Amino acid sequence: MADEVIAVSSDWAKRAYVDDAKYKAMYEASTTDPAKFWEEHGKRIDWIKPYSPSAVRDVDYNGDVRIRWFHDGVLNVSANCIDRHLSHRGDQTAIIWEGDDPSKSKKISYRELHGEVCRMANALKELGVRKGDRVTIYLPMIPEAAYAMLACTRIGAIHSVVFGGFSPDSLANRLVDCDSNVVITADEGLRAGKHVPLKANCDEALKKAPGVKKVLVVKHTGGKVGWEAGRDVWWHEIAAKVPADCAPEPMGAEDPLFILYTSGSTGKPKGVLHTTGGYIVFASMTHQYVFDYHDGDVYWCTADVGWVTGHSYILYGPLANGATTLMFEGVPNYPDSSRFWQVIDKHQVNIFYTAPTAIRALMREGEAPVKKASRASLRLLGSVGEPINPEAWLWYHRVVGDSRCPIVDTWWQTETGGILITPLPGATALKPGSATRPFFGVQPVMVDAEGNELQGACTGNLCLVNSWPGQMRTVYGDHQRFIDTYFRTYPGKYFTGDGARRDEDGYYWITGRVDDVINVSGHRIGTAEVESALVANTKVAEAAVVGFPHDIKGQGIYAYVTLKAGEHSSEELRKELVAWVRKEIGPIATPDVIQWAPGLPKTRSGKIMRRILRKIAENDFSNLGDTSTLADPTVVDDLVKHRGK
Which residues belong to the annotated binding site?
191-194, 309, 333, 385-387, 409-414, 498, 513, 521, 524, 535, 540, 582
Nearest to 592 by CA among 536, 550, 635, 638: 550
Residues 455-494 that bind ligand PRX (CB under 6 A): none
Q: Which of 386, 515, 529, 531 binds ligand PRX (CB under 6 A)?
A: 386
> Which C-beta is closer to ligand PRX: that of 113 or that of 260?
260
DSSP assignments along 436-467, one per residue: BSBPTT-EEEEE-TT-PEE-SSEEEEEEEES-
Site for ligand PRX (CB under 6 A): which residue of 328, 340, 412, 494? 412
Please name which of 424, 426, 425 lies closest in space to residue 442, comparing C-alpha atoms.
424
Residues 297-356 that bind ligand PRX (CB under 6 A): 308-309
Closer CB to ligand PRX, residue 51 or residue 299? 299
Q: Decide: 593 and 645 in contact? Cβ < 8 Å.
A: yes
Q: How far is the CB of 470 from ligand PRX (least distance, A)?
A: 11
Q: Which of 282, 286, 285, 297 is nearest to 380 (CA)?
A: 297
Interface with ligand PRX in residues 507-546 (CB under 6 A): 510, 512-513, 519, 524
Q: At what angle do helices 610-617 and 634-641 cross, to 10 degrees?
A: 20
Among 256, 497, 547, 591, binds ligand PRX (CB under 6 A): 497
Neighbour-count burial for 495-513, b at 16+ CB within 10 Å, e otherwise:
bbbbbbbbbeeebbbbebb
Q: Given the complex with ligand PRX, which of 342 and 489 has the nearer CB atom?
A: 489
Pairwise CA distance, residues 277 & 344, whole Å: 33
Within its chain, how far is the Cα of 496 from the centroid? Answer: 14
CA distance 151 to 129: 11
Amino acid identity, residue 31? T
Task: Say whether residue 409 binds ligand PRX (CB under 6 A).
Answer: yes
Point out which span in 282-290, 407-415, 468-476, 572-580 binds ligand PRX (CB under 6 A).
Answer: 407-415
Q: Is 442 exposed, middle or buried (0-12, 13-18, 19+ CB in 10 A)?
A: buried
Q: By CB under 6 A, is residue 498 in contact with ligand PRX?
A: yes
* Amino acid symbol at 439: F
- CB of residue 158 to ligand PRX, shortest distance in Å: 19
Tell me the number of residues near ligand PRX by CB under 6 A: 23
CB of 260 to ligand PRX, least distance (A): 9
Residues with Cβ within 8 Å of 567's Cβ and at least 6 positions away in sequence, in order, are: 539, 573
Question: Residue 517 CB, nearest distance to ligand PRX (Å)?
Answer: 7
Residue 637 C-beta: closest distance to ligand PRX, Å: 33
Does the footprint of ligand PRX cover residue 188 (CB under 6 A)? Answer: no
Specify whether the CB–CB gap between 59 and 67 falls below 8 A: yes
Residue 100 or 386: the one with the smaller Cβ distance to ligand PRX is 386
Site for ligand PRX in 152-171 (CB under 6 A): none
Nearer to ligand PRX, 206 or 420 (CB): 420
Among the listed ranges 76-84, 210-218, 280-288, 505-513, the one in contact with ligand PRX (CB under 6 A) is 505-513
User: What single letter denotes the amino acid at residue 378?
Assistant: L
Interface residues with ligand PRX (CB under 6 A) are 262, 308-309, 383-387, 409-414, 435, 496-498, 510, 512-513, 519, 524
